[in-house]
Structure 1
């Protein structure tokens, strides 16, 4: 593997790790999980499996759909993302922050900060174009067959997850709605900034 490709994978892994830290921040705010987790919450008890197993099954389903839509979007990076997002979440958990820090109005600051960090991590993971998370693989795969923007497709998928999860008795909160409304466009903004200021020189 040449140095350029190694650098791309390092950036992708860093983006995945930052994404996980952002998820940890959002979870700490305790204002609602992301839309996909609402679906996981709504299905895992009904299927009599663990939360982690249900999350894995949905992720694997996304992986399969992403591969069927465009197999070029699914690489070893896709599998690495699953690992390093989890590492990022666990790393934030190691801070053992007091729950007293997540009371109103600080809980909303944690949430907004978490959404920003999460979206920046996703944008950074997209920058190398060496593969994508399973979620992004689905989005970019659908873009091949539609004229819709990234944030429109992501909004549609997140809304589908949210509505399905609620119908299956999954729980959501104000944080869930904020992630739904803000994430897609924020990712686009961060990606455009990264591409403009570092994308042209990063791989040299």
Structure 2
């Protein structure tokens, strides 16, 4: 059982890194980043704190909100989302460094990078789903809101992502009088990532067999 858990943790960490690399690629493409990352990205452009730092702060708040929403139903192990967020935030800053020297010119190449980022983010999410240990804080908060309001998860997710994008737009206009981090690529990510996850998950059945062998 310990070997299975260790394997799941390894898959989860790999998924986090691939997700962070996809998000870094989306910012480098210059067509806007993913809905869940657009707020910390905008803030990182206006303050002397890194993208990863704002990602950690925002997602940690999500965990706190989840706790207050669920109260007695909040399971203690869910606090482990915070170290998970920390690892993801470190990976985010590392990935930003890795893509820093990339030069992307031309709208077509921007879209190529944008679509590649969607694939990377979706693949990372698929690995997290297969690891089946912890949800990312944003999705865990959506689940909590869904449980409390009795509204279907998918509808809450759309509303949550839309709120993140609108917040990023508002913050961007207040700070820069311009759109930063939110463009057509943000819309593409909102539409495509979920569809690509649905493509990947059934095709990662090999991981289930690996987990079973470890057990």
TM-score clears 0.5: yes
5+ residue gaps, structure 1 = none
CA distance, structure 2, for counterparts of residue 124 and residue 81 of structure 1: 16
CA distance, structure 2, for counterparts of residue 45 and residue 102 of structure 1: 21
More helix by share: 2
- Counterpart among 188, 196, 206 of residue 198 in structure 1: 206
Q: How many residues end up aligned between the 2 structures?
A: 199
| Cα shift at 1:64 | 1.5
CA distance, structure 2, for counterparts of residue 10 and residue 51 of structure 1: 26
2:131 counterpart residue number: 128
1:176 counterpart residue number: 186
Tell me, yes or no, if the aligned pair for 1:29 and 1:111 is still in contact at 8 Å: yes
Q: 1:71 to 1:6 in 2, by over 3 A?
A: farther
2:115 counterpart residue number: 112
Tell me, yes or no, if the aligned pair for 2:17 and 2:124 is still in contact at 8 Å: yes
Using structure 2 for the length normalisation, give the TM-score. Answer: 0.75
Superimposed CA distance per residue, residues 83-136 of structure 1 (whole angstroms, 9 cap, x where no aligned partner): 14532552463355431x343211101110111111110121121221122122
CA distance, structure 2, for counterparts of residue 34 and residue 28 of structure 1: 12
1:2 counterpart residue number: 2
5+ residue gaps, structure 2 = 174-178
Using structure 1 for the length normalisation, give the TM-score. Answer: 0.79
Superimposed CA distance per residue, residues 166-203 of structure 1 (whole angstroms, 9 cap, x where no aligned partner): 23326321111111222233334433433xx2253121
Residues 1:93 and 2:97 aligned together: yes
